[in-house]
Amino acid sequence: MMILRLARVQPGVSLLRGPTTRIFSPGRLPVRQLVARTQTPLTLTSSCLISRQLSTTRLLAFSARKPVAEKKFDDYKKVSLNDVKNNPIYKFVYLSKPWYQSTGFRILAVTMGLATLLYLFSDGAHKVLRHTGHAIERIWVVMKATSRCVWLYRKTLKKEYPSEEEYKTALSKCHKKAAEITLQAIRKNSGVYIKLGQHIAALTYIFPPEWTETMIPLQDQCPESSMESIRAMIRKDTGKNLDDLFLEFNEVPMGVASLAQVHKAVTIDGREVAVKVQHPSLAEFVPLDVYMTRTIFTIVDHFFPDYPLSWLSDEMQRSIFTELDFTEEANNAVKTREYFKDTYKTTALRIPEVYWSKRRILVMEFVGGSRLDNRPYLEDNNISPDEVSACLSHIFDTMIFRPGAGLHCDPHGGNLAIRTRDNSRGGHNFEIVLYDHGLYRFVPTNIQRDYAHFWLALIDSNEAEMRKYAKRFANIDEDKFPLFAAAITGRDFKHATSDLKSKRSRAEIENMVSTIASDGLLSDIMTLLHSVPRVVLLIFKTNDLTRHLDETLNSSLGIERTFLIMATYCAKTVLEERRENLIKKYSRLDIRRWIGEGFAWASYLRRLLQLKAYDFGLMVSNLF
């Protein structure tokens, strides 16, 4: 039945928009709906008559904002449709059928019914709908956490505070609360988000301690995938069951990371191996998660343009898909193992041998060990922290400065281990084991050389040369140089430019954090990092992580020996550059070439002798 609703309204009178009406005036054309289908009282601006012709002859009359009692339809003059059409004081609207009889509702009901049937009886549709549901849930988790954090910061930063101290306290609480909200969302979604949280935990020179300390548990507390999903993935990727590949397979993982987990196993031919398997769920959601990560930082950049963070998501987007291809990791491990095979005396580096790999599965030699920061293990096995620190310096200086080595981009504590050697090999009673070779970058030769010049200038406290080469390899302007020097060394500007070899004190660290917070330097640091080349960011990250490991070892030699080791690599890089330039400029018989080479070698040998003299002095002091 068509429902007719009539409105008798004085010319020029409008109905207010309320819980049961739409705005209506006599001068307008008939609208789709004047009065909603409800018994809720209307609120009107003037007396008028609302009638409705339904299967029952009842109506409600209202006047002057107050509803009146229900009356019989016969108490009012009946009007015909023609009367309404011909009388200018009446306006009418034709309404569709009740909502449960409408076309839109029927389409929705049929769609939901078909979706339910497909979900129950079609495996393909079940997977699609399940994926859609999980995707919506992940998006909701991210957007909810992001909006809460943005609201927290906007509320805190806009508020007026009686004193600077109260502002710092409020901001610290805001940092902590926002970090906890983010941590909860990261744990909920896991995967790529855990990788992001680990990176935040390592960026101690950018993010406030409330953020970095809150994210520390993500280094070792990643959710593991079920054995059922692991077995299904192995069957899908290899065409074989897990039991056909391994005699034994420990279902309890030795370690769980953000992208994969590692199980100990024994192959059919009896070799003890470590099996690295990617979390099966990553393949389903990584593209979405990477997109959402980018969206998060775009939103943050919009609300807080002084704190650009999009460079973090840019770097993740460039690297994550490479890390998820374990055949790339296998190739990197093989190349690095080959490169370092003749450096054992200085590096004590052990890289597990790769047996075979698929895109999501990597089988390699099992090489166990303890964490590098496990001081009781070092003491129980008579391992010198000083030697370990020196070996770490040689490993990562080789990767940064030597051509063809490749730079491991994720050297956090979970990817490094130390183990004893029964028979001392190469002068060491230990080995440093390096895992997770999924991401390597090769530093361009020009950046290697300019970076070497920069560090030699830092070590020599030559500020003019520092500024020159900072501009060349990182495009740092004069006004940004003090901040850059502090960021790359992890020291305040005074120590970075004049007293770099002294040990970084707790007071200095606290002073840096306080200065960044009070002077508004955080936004300047983020802007600076946004502008430097991406490979330089990776060098920053490696420097910061290795510096953290070095401080954790608490070497008795202090930071000076670490810088002297770096100086030898820098000097060798500069030597090669100078020799190459001399060869290009002068013929073999030109005396200027040989004089130039003599000076280049002398500069290199001076750095080498400084290190040897330092080591000899330590050896003598240890005898007494």
- 317 located within any domain: no
Q: Supply the pLDDT for residue 622.
A: 56
Q: State whether 450 and 584 are in the same domain.
A: yes
- Residue 423 pLDDT grade (very low, low, confident, very high; cuts 50, 70, 90): low
* 542 or 100, higher pLDDT: 542
Q: What pLDDT is stored for residue 505 in this prediction?
A: 52
- pLDDT of the residue at 117: 66
On the question of pLDDT at 136 being above 80, the answer is yes
Asked, for residue 213, whether it belongs to a domain, the answer is no
Do 347 and 387 belong to one domain? yes
Strands (E), 233-287: 246-249, 255-256, 260-267, 272-278
Query: What does the pLDDT average to over 586-613?
Result: 86
What is residue 430's predicted lDDT score, i.e. its pLDDT? 92
In a domain, 571, yes or no: yes
Bridge partners (DSSP) of residue 15 are: 24
Query: What does the alpha-carbon distance between residue 511 and residue 528 come to, in Å, rounded to a whole number?
Result: 20
| Residue 414 scores a pLDDT above 60 | yes
- Spatial contact of 280 and 235, defined as CB atoms under 8 Å apart: no
Measure the CA–CA gap between 578 and 90, rounded to whole angstroms: 97
What is the model's pTM? 0.68
The count of domains in the chain is 3
Q: Both 73 and 38 in a single domain?
A: yes
φ/ψ (deg, to 5) at 384? -80, 120
505 and 576 assigned to the same domain:
yes
Q: Which residues pair with 276 in a beta bridge?
A: 262, 362
Q: In the structure, what pLDDT confidence band is assigned to residue 15 with cuts at 50, 70 and 90?
A: very low
**Average pLDDT for the chain:** 75
Say which residue the tokens 């979390």 belong to.
279
CA distance 163 to 216: 32
Q: How confident is the model at residue 194 (pLDDT cuts 50, 70, 90)?
A: confident
Backbone angles phi, psi at 361, to 5 degrees: -135, 135
Strands, E assignment, 203-292 = 246-249, 255-256, 260-267, 272-278
- Domain for residue 544, yes or no? yes
| CA 142/CA 186 separation, integer angstroms | 8
- Say yes or no: 613 and 480 in one domain: yes
**Residue 288's pLDDT is what?**
82
Q: 356 pairs with which residues across the strands? A: 363
Which single residue is written with the structure tokens 């959402």?
292
Q: How many CA atoms lie within 13 A of 518 on its CB side?
A: 10
Last residue of a domain, which of 441, 467, 502? 441
User: Tokens for 505?
Assistant: 């004190």
CA-to-CA distance for 55 and 69, rounded, in angstroms?
20
Q: Are the C-beta atoms of residues 290 and 138 closer than 8 Å to each other? A: no
- Is 340 or 105 the better-scoring residue by pLDDT? 340
- 220 vs 360: which has the higher pLDDT: 360
pLDDT value for 259: 86
Using DSSP, state whether 536 is helix, strand or coil: helix
The pLDDT, as a whole number, for residue 494 is 58
Name the residue range of residue 435's domain.
326-396+404-441
Alpha helices in 532-590 (DSSP H): 534-553, 559-585
Is 309 a member of any domain?
A: no
Handedness of CA 85, 91, 95, 98 (dihedral sign): negative
Does residue 269 lie in a domain region?
no
Q: Render pLDDT for 490-522 as a digit per residue (tens, 0 to 9).
A: 665 555 555 555 555 555 545 555 555 444 555
Same domain, 590 and 474: yes
Q: Are 430 and 509 in the same domain?
A: no
Among 57, 74, 95, where does a domain finish? Answer: 95
360/275 Cα distance (integer angstroms): 11
Residue 52 within any structural domain of the chain: yes
Query: Given a cut of 60, is residue 93 above it in pLDDT?
Result: no
- Nearest alpha carbon to residue 457 among 441, 475, 472, 442: 472
Domain boundary pick from 34, 64, 95? 95
The conformational region for residue 366 under phi > 0 = left, psi -120 to 50 = alpha, else beta, is: beta
Look-up: residue for tokens 């950018």? 206
293 touches 276 (CB < 8 A): no
- pLDDT > 70? residue 533: yes
Residue whose tokens read 């389903």: 284
The identity of residue 69, as a single letter, is A
Residues 497 and 572 occupy one common structural domain: yes
Chain centroid offset of residue 310 CA? 10
Verify that 510 and 581 share a domain, yes or no: yes
Clarify whether residues 481 and 588 are in a common domain: yes
Is 574 found in the same domain as 543?
Answer: yes
| Model pLDDT, residue 205 | 63
Could you tell me if 417 and 510 lie in one domain? no
Measured CA to CA, the distance from residue 365 to residue 363 in angstroms comes to 7
Q: Give the residue among 361, 318, 357 at the shortest CA–CA distance from 334.
A: 357
Cβ contacts of 139 within 8 Å, gap of 6 or more: 288, 292
- pLDDT for position 495: 54
CA distances for 413 relative to 299, 308, 359, 418, angstroms: 32, 28, 25, 11
**Residues 414, 410: Cα–Cα separation, whole Å:** 9
What is residue 191's predicted lDDT score, i.e. its pLDDT? Answer: 78
* Per-residue confidence (pLDDT) for residue 32, from 0 to 100: 32
pLDDT at 99 over 70: no
- DSSP for 31-83 reads PS-SB-SS-PPP--SS-BEEEEE-SS-EE--EETTEE---EEGGGS----HHH
Which residues have a catalytic role annotated? 410
Phi, psi of 6 (to 5 degrees): -115, 145
What does the pLDDT look like over 139-190, one tens digit per residue? 898 899 989 998 998 898 888 888 888 888 888 899 899 999 999 998 888 8
Question: Is residue 311 assigned to a domain?
Answer: no
- The tens digit of pLDDT for each residue in 350-362 reads 999 999 999 999 9
Helix, coil or strand: residue 224: coil
